């Protein structure tokens, strides 16, 4: 079978399964089965597929029909222009999270702490953009930390990034001029409404803390003051309705210059705050 015929057959199968962007996913999965970048697929559409390539493509399509995310099937996700390995033990890096990276890189920093690092996409993207900085990524999941360390090796950042198992700040020492986090923030009653790709395939521990979805922010803001240098910044990703509640937690922790930043679609996505420059002790 030539690749173009396989693609024509795949698109309606994905559409029948309720895949929103069936044509795009079919092309990405075909390129993956052929072992090429999807930007080169057009050049290969008239080529015959080998039996192993056909088998790989059929297996990938069946996984996608089962609503497994494309990044988990291919094992990679492009984020901030960098390629990251993705597994079922990590969140799939999302474009809106680049809002957090852009804000982090808007000012210089030397010591970075990334809480709940997952794939390491935030930490490593920030370090790529700030060549003199060093960073620590923490996660409660050993499997996620393994993925993050693998991505660190792939990106050549072993000398500047290290990792530690920690429940938020409990095992963190030292002081940092920037703390970032994309914590679990989905409320328990919102979990059933998530797309199957998220609800059924991504780690629930990284999606929701249960309850009202704010527990991770409470833990982070309670401990961040003691780990921020005077004048240091705290940046966290939020759900689109959580700006006021998380801003209030920042204020209770003694942070100043609190702002809620929108993502590319205009939805509230990041809360930013600064530890007062004269505050050597920080919030408890």
Q: What is the pLDDT of residue 131?
A: 96
Instruction: Indicate whether 43 and 87 sit together in one domain.
Output: no
Instruction: Indicate whether 115 and 28 sit together in one domain.
Output: no
Instruction: Indicate whether 139 and 204 sit together in one domain.
Output: yes
Give the domain-ending residue among 66, 98, 119.
66
> Domain span at residue 57?
3-66
In this structure, what CATH number is given to the domain that contains residue 190? Answer: 3.40.50.150
3-state secondary structure 187-247: CHHHHHHCCHHHHCCCCHHHHCCCCCCCHHHHHHHHHHHHHEEEEEEEEEECCCCCHHHHH
Q: How many domains does the chain have?
A: 2
Instruction: Indicate whether 36 and 101 sit together in one domain.
Output: no
Q: Is 46 a domain residue?
A: yes
- Per-residue confidence band for 279, with pLDDT thresholds at 50, 70 and 90: low
- What is the enclosing helix (H) or strand (E) of 148? helix 142-154
Instruction: Indicate whether 112 and 243 sit together in one domain.
Output: yes
**Which pTM value belongs to this model?**
0.92
Q: What is the pLDDT of residue 38?
A: 83
Instruction: Indicate whether 236 and 112 sit together in one domain.
Output: yes
Instruction: Indicate whether 33 and 93 sit together in one domain.
Output: no
Instruction: Indicate whether 96 and 37 sit together in one domain.
Output: no
């Amino acid at each position: 079978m030539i690749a173009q015929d396989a693609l024509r057959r795949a698109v309606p199968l994905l559409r029948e399964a309720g895949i929103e962007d069936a044509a795009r996913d079919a092309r990405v999965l075909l390129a993956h089965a052929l072992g090429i970048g999807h930007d080169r697929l057009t050049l290969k559409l008239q080529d015959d597929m080998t039996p192993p390539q056909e088998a790989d493509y059929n297996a990938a399509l069946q996984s996608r029909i089962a609503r497994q995310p494309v990044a988990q099937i291919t094992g990679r996700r492009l984020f901030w222009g960098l390629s990251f390995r993705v597994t079922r033990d990590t969140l799939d890096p999302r474009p809106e999270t680049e809002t957090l990276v852009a804000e982090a890189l808007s000012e210089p920093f030397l010591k970075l702490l990334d809480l709940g690092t997952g794939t390491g996409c935030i930490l490593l993207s920030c370090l790529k953009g700030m060549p003199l900085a060093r960073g620590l990524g923490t996660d409660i999941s050993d499997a996620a930390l393994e993925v993050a360390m693998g991505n660190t090796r792939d990106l050549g950042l072993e000398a500047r990034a290290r990792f530690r198992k920690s429940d938020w700040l409990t095992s963190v020492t030292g002081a940092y001029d920037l703390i970032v986090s994309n914590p679990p923030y989905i409320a328990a009653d919102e979990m059933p409404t998530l797309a199957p790709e998220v609800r059924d395939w991504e780690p629930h521990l990284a999606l929701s803390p249960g309850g009202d979805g704010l527990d991770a922010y409470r833990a982070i803001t309670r401990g961040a003051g003691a780990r921020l240098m005077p004048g240091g910044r705290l940046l966290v990703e939020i759900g689109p309705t959580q700006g006021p509640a998380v801003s209030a937690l920042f204020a209770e922790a003694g942070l100043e210059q609190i702002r809620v930043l929108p993502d590319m679609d205009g939805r509230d996505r990041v809360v930013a705050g600064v530890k007062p420059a004269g505050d050597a002790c920080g919030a408890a």
